[in-house]
């Protein structure tokens, strides 16, 4: 970002760009100075939106972040607001080519000898949390899962519903007494996990889903691999499996996938099949009792120091706005570079939101095999979208567009900033585990929950989730850290936001300073010293991807 006297008005994201981003509301008729040029605004330009810095003819390329992000639909005058009417999505093609890519790693000397306190597993990986996981092999067991969740979480100190139950009780008392309901004192600021029975068990998590039967056999196989990846996750200490018995996804299929992914799997694993049980009541009671005994065992595991190289951090954006690619995403990108330089793993997913950034990522791949795998996964995904009358160009949501992300290429070029600038060491298909230090690309949809679900399956032990509009997304086994792109959001939705990148917009902090702040937070969160808001609120979202078209 340019640091001159007009920094707080506009910013140019790359020297090649022919648009400027408004950092504050700009009025029609106002003259904006940037660098050695002056621009008369022909329209009002709200913060987060863009205006053109040159006259454009129909078909001319619009460049932002140094890449093609769209084409003019008709003649556009310099100083005009970018709109969905005057620009349409466009992106450059991409191919594998031999490039002598060189990376200048950031200075990590201040972090070189730091550690975090995590849970060491027998396979050598280190978790940032210690959860007990409930896995249904089929949706028929969701109701039993809900009954067990209420019993265990409420009684063992992991529920977040107590404050709402108390509030409802107060409303009921006021109603029965004929009092005005508006006089009831609302106290909803309490959080969960304050009275845990098991100090070293961070939560009891449940993977309710709608699959396992009735769909294709391929869907069942993908779901099995996904559930096995969660059972194998370093943040999971023990697993309870509920099965009906007759479903497509058989328990043995799940167990085979567990062993395939980790031949030395040795966590406590409890299996209950309803069609072999005496009654539903007996099934639930047995599951609760044996899980309780398992909780006693995994509670014996304590946090111990581990090098930062043992972290595996997913980077994600959702509810994005026009500041996502200006503040939070580049800051998280710098954090990603710090982690890569330290030998940690970083996971960048959301393939529909890499549209337009492909060539840069291909050029950064450390092997031809990885580059061509990325090209294959991207092109196959794009073809699937077009086969049903959709496409990556339809990815931006109404909220994205309203807040300045006019085309998918604009959204994607900003989203890709989360991955920093380091080499791409590996490309992973859905549910494939990350094994190499450095930045890996993971094939998932852009959909917030499907993407976070996929990142956790690949081994993310923390997820940095940037947002400009606000979203309550979390994950059952991987703590999700919410990073706001702007201070207005951070203050308005303080109950779900952990980190505010607004100081970048105001000029109070640089991207690099904010990136270090984010890494500092990650170290504390990985050690259990800070509990991210999504974890406090039990935002345990889990949506398996059926590999159909999902953007």
Phi, psi (5° rounding) for residue 470?
A: 100, 135
CA pair distance 321, 307, nearest whole angstrom: 35
Phi, psi (5° rounding) for residue 39?
A: -130, 120
Residue 160 pLDDT level (bands cut at 50, 70, 90): confident
The pLDDT of residue 295 is above 50: yes
Q: What is the pLDDT of residue 166?
A: 84
CA pair distance 195, 88, nearest whole angstrom: 54
Residue reference for tokens 């006019």: 406
% of the chain surpassing 70 pLDDT:
96
Q: What is the pLDDT of residue 5?
A: 38
Closest CA to 151 of 46, 65, 240, 30: 240
CA pair distance 66, 221, nearest whole angstrom: 41
Q: What is the pLDDT of residue 221?
A: 94
CATH fold label, 127-158+193-304: Rossmann fold (3.40.50)
For range 392-402, the mean pLDDT? 80
The pLDDT of residue 7 is above 60: no
The pLDDT of residue 117 is above 90: yes
The pLDDT of residue 433 is above 70: yes
Length of the chain: 551
The rounded mean pLDDT for the chain is 94
Closest CA to 247 of 279, 215, 277: 215
3-state SS class at 523: helix
CA pair distance 21, 47, nearest whole angstrom: 8
For range 6-26, the mean pLDDT? 90
* CB neighbourhood size of 7 (10 A): 15
Residues 137, 247: contact at Cβ < 8 Å? yes
pLDDT tens, 529-541? 999 999 999 999 9
Residue 338 pLDDT level (bands cut at 50, 70, 90): very high
Residues 492, 428: contact at Cβ < 8 Å? no
Residue 2 pLDDT level (bands cut at 50, 70, 90): very low
Residues 63, 48: contact at Cβ < 8 Å? no
CATH 2.30.130.110 is the classification of domain 10-89: yes
Query: For the chain, which residues make up each domain, given as ranges?
Result: 10-89, 127-158+193-304, 309-536
- Report the range of poorest mean pLDDT among 216-220, 344-348, 509-513: 216-220
Q: What is the pLDDT of residue 187?
A: 66
- Report the range of poorest mean pLDDT among 81-95, 193-207, 228-242, 271-285: 193-207
CA pair distance 358, 443, nearest whole angstrom: 13
pLDDT tens, 229-242? 999 999 999 999 99
The pLDDT of residue 191 is above 70: no
CA pair distance 295, 416, nearest whole angstrom: 40
Q: What is the DSSP letter of 418?
A: G
Residue 216 pLDDT level (bands cut at 50, 70, 90): confident
Query: Going by DSSP bridges, is the β-strand pair 304-307/115-120 parallel, antiparallel, or unpaired?
Result: antiparallel
User: For residues 352-376, b (16+ Cβ closer than 10 Å) or e, as one string?
Assistant: bbbbbbbbbbbbbbbeeebbebbbe
CA pair distance 137, 346, nearest whole angstrom: 30
């Amino acid at each position: 970002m340019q640091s001159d006297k007009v920094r707080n008005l506009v910013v140019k994201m790359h020297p090649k760009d022919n648009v400027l981003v408004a950092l504050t509301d700009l009025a029609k008729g106002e003259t904006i100075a940037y660098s050695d040029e002056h621009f008369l605004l022909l329209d009002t330009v709200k913060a987060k939106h863009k205006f053109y810095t040159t006259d454009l003819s129909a078909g001319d390329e619009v460049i932002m972040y140094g890449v093609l992000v769209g084409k003019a639909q008709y003649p556009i005058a310099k100083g005009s607001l970018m709109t969905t009417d005057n620009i349409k999505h466009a992106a450059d093609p991409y191919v594998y080519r031999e490039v002598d890519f060189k990376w200048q790693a950031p200075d990590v000397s201040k972090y070189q000898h730091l550690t975090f306190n995590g849970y060491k597993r027998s396979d050598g990986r280190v978790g940032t949390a210690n959860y007990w996981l409930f896995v249904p092999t089929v949706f028929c067991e969701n109701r039993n899962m809900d009954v067990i969740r209420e019993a265990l979480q409420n009684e063992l100190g992991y529920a977040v519903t107590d404050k709402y139950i108390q509030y409802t009780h107060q409303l009921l008392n006021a109603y029965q007494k004929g009092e005005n309901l508006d006089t009831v004192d609302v106290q909803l600021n309490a959080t969960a996990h304050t009275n845990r029975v098991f100090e070293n068990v961070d939560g009891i998590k449940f993977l309710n889903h709608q699959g396992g039967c009735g769909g294709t056999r391929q869907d069942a196989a993908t779901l099995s691999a996904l559930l096995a990846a969660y059972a194998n996750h370093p943040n999971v200490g023990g697993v309870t499996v509920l099965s009906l018995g007759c479903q497509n996804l058989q328990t043995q299929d799940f167990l085979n996938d567990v062993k395939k992914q980790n031949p030395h799997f040795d966590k406590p694993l409890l299996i209950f099949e309803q069609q072999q049980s005496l009654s539903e009541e007996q099934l639930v009671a047995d599951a609760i009792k044996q899980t309780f005994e398992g909780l006693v065992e995994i509670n014996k595991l304590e946090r111990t120091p581990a090098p930062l190289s043992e972290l595996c951090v997913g980077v994600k954006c959702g509810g994005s706005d026009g500041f996502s690619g200006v503040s939070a995403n580049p800051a998280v990108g710098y954090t990603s570079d710090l982690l890569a330089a330290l030998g940690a793993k970083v996971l960048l997913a959301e393939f529909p939101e890499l549209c337009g950034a492909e060539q840069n990522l291909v050029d950064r791949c450390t092997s031809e095999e990885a580059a061509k795998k990325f090209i294959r996964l991207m092109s196959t995904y794009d073809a699937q979208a077009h086969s049903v009358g959709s496409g990556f160009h339809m990815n931006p949501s109404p909220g994205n567009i309203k807040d300045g992300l006019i085309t998918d290429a604009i959204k994607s070029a900003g989203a890709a900033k989360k991955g920093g600038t380091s080499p791409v060491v590996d490309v992973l298909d859905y549910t494939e585990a990350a094994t190499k230090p450095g930045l890996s690309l993971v094939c998932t949809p852009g959909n917030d929950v499907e993407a976070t679900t996929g990142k956790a399956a690949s081994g993310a032990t923390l997820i940095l989730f940037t947002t400009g509009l606000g979203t309550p997304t979390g994950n059952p086994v991987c703590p999700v850290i919410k990073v706001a792109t702007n201070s207005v959001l951070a203050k308005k939705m303080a109950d779900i936001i952990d980190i505010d990148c607004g100081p970048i917009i105001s000029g109070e902090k640089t991207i690099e300073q904010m990136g270090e702040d984010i890494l500092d937070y990650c170290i504390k969160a990985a050690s259990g010293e800070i509990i991210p808001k999504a974890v406090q609120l039990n935002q345990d979202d889990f949506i398996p991807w059926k590999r159909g078209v999902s953007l």
